[in-house]
Structure 1
Amino acid sequence: MDIARNTTLAVWMAEHGYSSNSLADAVNRALEHLTGRAGGLDGSSIRAWKAGRVTWPKSATRRALEDVTGLPATALGFVPRRRPPSTPAAPQQEDPDMKRRTLVGGLAAAAAAAAAAPGTATRRIGMGDVDRLQQRFAEIVASDHRHGGQLGIEQQAAALAEEALNLQHAGSASQRVRSSLYASAAAFRSSAMWAAIDGRRYDVAKAHMREAQALAEMSGDQAIKFRIWSHAGTMYRHMGRPADAIAANDVARNLHLTRRDPLFASLGLARQGAIHGTAQNRAGTHRAFDQAQEAMLRADPADYRPMWMRAFYDQAELDSLALSAHLALGDHPTAEFHAHRCLSALRPHMVRSRAIATTRLAHAQLAQGAPDAATATAMKVPTDAATRHARVARMLQEFGAALRATAPGSSTVQTWNEHAALWRTPA
């Protein structure tokens, strides 16, 4: 039997600059972090993955790979093993994989065909179609972690939300499938909302928010409701409206999901702490982060949570939010402490988060009277983030202004000006 190469994994490795040996090293480190034991992968192990000789790595290895890449294994081209049926399969039963392959023409085309020929038989929409949407959602999340705030990500996510809704009309489906399709559409729309927030396009973000909230209600999915309202709290925090931010974040925190799962409770509390920092509520900030840390320590490390949650919320993200809060409070030594903890724990795929934390660290160092160290830190921000990410670009502009006010005419200012000039696009 022919073995199909895993070209998806090979393309991902080429895009992110991984050789077989370097990816093996990264996964081994992630395995040690997860299990306490060093992994035993080497370059030949990765080559076996790419060649298709290994189609579904062991569970701990898959989890480590997902931590390194920020993508589920299925989105990297791996195929779960099928259990043999305990009883003979019914004759003429349709293979779910074959059902998925019939949707070749795209969701919009399928919906149009269904509308154009109402008298003809319709296909059956199943959870396999929902799983395919979730793989595309994983790609959107991964792209956001690499680039963040880009208009293209927002537009792609919004278009995929429409595709998920079109699939509602492409055939018959159970209530469970229809609820899952609404949840998928809400998830895509919430990613469009987040990209707009990250790019400081707040009016557009609010329009995405309203659509996402309506879809989430139709889905009944608590996790996606949490994501949308938590994003809304972050949006209002960035807009300088802490009262609205607290109100929105409270909606997320009051969902019963946060009482069942301490990790969701931790994220809600950490974002509450960041809002308190913006509002100059020092006591509220310390209380929220203490509670967020305690909840995180109680959380089950199992991987049953939604992919978007697993891809970003961990100790590094908690420290990133604490960094933001203490920087807003003017507590620069504590901000620097959290910055170093965040940067040391960030997973490789969190490119956008690393740029933000690095920029905030530079601000904290400058505020403590260390312009040389601060400038060296700020110069580590990649050009792509410095020029294309709205939040990072603005913070770096503010850093340059503060540096010139702190050390006017110094060689450090000249060094920074020359470095920043390389980022400007020629007229």
Structure 2
Amino acid sequence: MGNQALQMALADAGLTQEKLAEAVNRAIERMTGRPGRVSDRVVRRWLSGQTRWPHELQRRALAAVLGREPTALGFVPPPGRPSVAPSEEPVNRRQALATGVALSAAVAAPAPAAPYRVGMSDVRALQSRFAKLIAADHKKGGDKETETAALTLADEALALRQRGACSQRVRRALYATAAACVSSAMWAATDGRRFDAALRHHERAASLAQESGDQAILFRIWSHKGSLYRHLGRPVDALDANDVARRLSITRRDPLFASLGHARHAAILGLTRDKASVDRALGCAREAMLRADPGEWRPVWLTAFYDEAEVHSLAATAYLAAGRPAEAEAQAHASLTLFRPHLARSRAITTARLARAQLGQGEVERAVATAVSIDAEHPRVRSMLDSFTRDLRRIAPGPLYDSWEQQWTAA
């Protein structure tokens, strides 16, 4: 059977045997100034029950890491020995016993500090930093710096989980925060055309999201994977991934999530040139958005970007892919009139879609004028304008193309 109490404590803390050994060694170092020497093998002996009563220093470190006394962790002291060694007793109790005077406790040295307990205030501090990361991403978008910062914040959330004991609610919130951060790294990699990295981030984000049980972040991760496959030109895989997001229960509870799922589905369907399905998905997206309660709380990653402007922008994407440039242009214009000021990257992307739509209708001069107005700082926008340049050379080689190419090359 082994030490079931210790096994349950590890599960509650989300620690592996290796991570427990590392945490115990760090706790010993804090107490003694020297790193501990607890190995995986030692931990296995604890879990199997072979070691029924670890050394005193190990017991104290285990209590600090897991927030429970040794006996509560399933350890059993040898017969005739107290469950708490003299060096582990509160100092004030030893003082009282030594003098025989209970009042001496008032002047005794303070008891050792209680193990750190992680709370929702710690989670909120992480989430505040995550909100700043989201804001930076919408301004810059797709750069390696954003990707790295998101992964660093995820690691901090997981390290905090191992710092001390916490409630089940806090544990889930920490995993959800870590998953959200890795998901942002995934999106930054996708936006920066680093697709292999984005796929790796998806696997990690999905695993963390499962630990959290958070439907909102699960939706985000699978919806992002659908968008990633769309950028890779893999519509079947993209539709399957987006369907995972659309079938989550949160889309039934909150119409705004359903709306985003439908809008991104329309963008993917554009690659299939299924015009009827595109129109149907966009209709569902708009209808669901009308049903959404604007006063309901939602995560910052959703409220920061998803609104009517984004629906129009995704519609422009869908119509462009489906070979309907006039409708794409109308949707792009509608989107650009509604964008909130902080969505600099989204505005640049939609403007690039507008230029492509105008070029697709043979309006070469207007298309070039639109392209010239775009801030091409973002990697994804540069990729879109590279495609625009190739199409312009094919459609209208000559002085106008030469002028554009000179400007684009110098940018």
Task: State the TM-score bracket (shorter-chain normalisation).
Answer: 0.7 to 0.9
Aligned to 2:386: 397
AA aligned opposite 1:220: G
Aligned to 2:266: 273
Q: Distance in 2 between matches of 1:116 and 1:237?
A: 50
Report Cα offsets for 1:306-355 as digits up to 9, x if no partner.
11111010001111110000000110010000000111111111111111
Where does structure 1 differ by over 3 angstroms across 4 or more consecutive aligned residues?
110-117
Query: Identity across aligned pairs (percent)?
Result: 53
What SS does the aligned partner of 1:124 have? coil
2:239–2:268 Cα contact (<8 Å) kept: yes
User: Where does 1:99-138 land on structure 2 (aligned, <5 Å)?
Assistant: 114=27, 116-117=29-30, 118=61, 120=64, 121-138=114-131
Aligned to 1:422: 410
Aligned to 1:153: 146
Match of 2:216 among 217, 223, 241: 223
Q: Distance in 1 between matches of 2:406 and 2:385?
A: 14
1:111–1:167 Cα contact (<8 Å) kept: no
Count of aligned pairs between the two proteins? 310
Task: State the structure with more CA Rg.
Answer: 2
Match of 1:354 among 347, 352, 369: 347
Report Cα offsets for 1:17-50 as digits up to 9, x if no partner.
xxxxxxxxxxxxxxxxxxxxxxxxxxxxxxxxxx
Q: Distance in 2 between matches of 1:351 and 1:381?
A: 11
AA aligned opposite 1:163: E
Report Cα offsets for 1:362-416 as digits up to 9, x if no partner.
011011111111111001111423xxx1x21121112112222222223x22331
Report Cα offsets for 1:70-122 as digits up to 9, x if no partner.
xxxxxxxxxxxxxxxxxxxxxxxxxxxxxxxxxxxxxxxx9995474426542
Distance verdict in 2 for CA 1:111–1:382, change over 3 Å: farther
Q: Distance in 2 between matches of 1:237 and 1:405?
A: 24
1:164 matches 2:164: no
2:309–2:335 Cα contact (<8 Å) kept: yes
Distance verdict in 2 for CA 1:280–1:128, change over 3 Å: same
Structure 1, unaligned runs of 5 or more = 1-109
Match of 1:365 among 344, 358, 365: 358
Aligned to 1:202: 195
Q: Distance in 2 between matches of 1:253 and 1:284?
A: 16
Match of 1:336 among 329, 332, 340: 329
What SS does the aligned partner of 1:169 have? helix
1:125–1:173 Cα contact (<8 Å) kept: yes
Aligned to 1:103: none
1:276–1:284 Cα contact (<8 Å) kept: yes
1:303–1:310 Cα contact (<8 Å) kept: no
Structure 2, unaligned runs of 5 or more = 1-22, 31-60, 65-113
Aligned to 2:286: 293
AA aligned opposite 1:234: S
1:260 matches 2:249: no
Distance verdict in 2 for CA 1:239–1:304, change over 3 Å: same
Distance verdict in 2 for CA 1:313–1:179, change over 3 Å: same
User: Where does 1:45-60 land on structure 2 (aligned, <5 Å)?
Assistant: none
Aligned to 1:193: 186
Aligned to 1:232: 225
1:114–1:170 Cα contact (<8 Å) kept: no
Distance verdict in 2 for CA 1:199–1:111, change over 3 Å: farther
Distance verdict in 2 for CA 1:227–1:116, change over 3 Å: farther
Distance verdict in 2 for CA 1:126–1:363, change over 3 Å: same
1:111–1:170 Cα contact (<8 Å) kept: no
User: Where does 1:88-103 land on structure 2 (aligned, <5 Å)?
Assistant: none
Using structure 1 for the length normalisation, give the TM-score.
0.70
AA aligned opposite 2:405: N
Aligned to 1:5: none
Q: Distance in 1 between matches of 2:156 and 2:27?
A: 14
2:273–2:323 Cα contact (<8 Å) kept: no
Q: Distance in 2 between matches of 1:167 and 1:229?
A: 26
1:317–1:342 Cα contact (<8 Å) kept: yes
Distance verdict in 2 for CA 1:273–1:124, change over 3 Å: same
Give 1:284 deviation, angstroms: 0.9
What SS does the aligned partner of 1:345 have? coil
2:150–2:184 Cα contact (<8 Å) kept: yes
Using structure 2 for the length normalisation, give the TM-score.
0.73
Q: Distance in 2 between matches of 1:155 and 1:169?
A: 22
